[in-house]
Amino acid sequence: MGPKSIEVKPISGALGAEIEGVDLSKDLSNETFDAIHQAFLDHVVIFFRDQHISHDQHKAFGRRFGTLNIHPYVKGMDGHPEIMQIVKEPEDRINFGGGWHSDMSFLEEPALGSILYAKEVPPYGGDTLWANQYLAYETLSDGMKTMLEGLKAVHTAKGEYSERGHSAQKRSSMQVATAGDDTPSYEHPVVRTHPETGRKALYVNPAFTEKFVGMTRRESRPLLNFLFEHCTQEPFTCRFRWTKHAIAFWDNRAAQHFALNDYHGHRRHMERVTVDGDRPF
């Protein structure tokens, strides 16, 4: 048990917990930090409500977990390149993150996780969903697990961040660069072992996974489509209703997420700090 002041309250059967009794604007004791870290590993995504943090405090919390990422395509804040502002203006049609994905799986060392802070939320809508990829792996048949063991897949930003890609679409308050033909691809295991928990998780996602290594795209497509559909089934998910000044921190090594785009005509403004991870194994 951690400090008595911290309460960890699961929000669904699959993953996700709200943490009460923590003020992230204050210096966290090692004991409190360890309790938060354990809840993060246990529940895959953790939430805090009513947090009033500065940009420096946001970054400092992230740095307790690792170095901070500067996104290769999305321009960070002036003076705070590690903070990405995710803004949808009332007139914007397309939101950012509006499809199932695992952040930055197109890098050689994908993100450990992201810490998303709500600055302005619409009166309704704009929820985020997460899907537990440990459960996605564990519910596969033994035959499927055996087949996937040792398989690798190609991950790239080419699709999402190309000129026609969802993530590269013009938005009035975000500067996003497009990924060119020279965009690198990286090979990651289809089943990854979490470096801290030792548990196995499915590690493919529809945004950035192109094909299996050693196979054509056409050959890869049926099995990838099955896995994409399998790994985001309703029983593996939780859904978070944002409130102003809420924070979500998810473990990118064991979750995918999806930002709903159901609040047209309203503004939504979030700030994201992303913690660097390591090479999947």
The C-alpha R_g of the chain, in whole angstroms, comes to 18
Known catalytic membership, residue 272 = yes
Integer Cα distance of 109 and 190 in angstroms: 15
Task: Spot the catalytic one: 103, 192, 253, 268.
Answer: 103
For residue 44 the two structure tokens come to 């895959």
DSSP string, 74-87: B--BTTBTTEEEEE
For residue 74 the two structure tokens come to 């999305």
Task: Spot the catalytic one: 58, 101, 171, 253.
Answer: 101
63 sits in which H/E element: helix 55-63
Q: Phi first, then psi: what are they for 236, rounded to 5°?
A: -95, 0
Known catalytic membership, residue 101 = yes
First to last CA, the chain: 31
For residue 199 the two structure tokens come to 């548990």
Task: Spot the catalytic one: 43, 188, 194, 257.
Answer: 257
Integer Cα distance of 230 and 232 in angstroms: 6
Known catalytic membership, residue 42 = no
SS3 194: coil
Residue 186, strand partner residues: 155
Known catalytic membership, residue 262 = no
Catalytic machinery residues: 101, 103, 257, 272
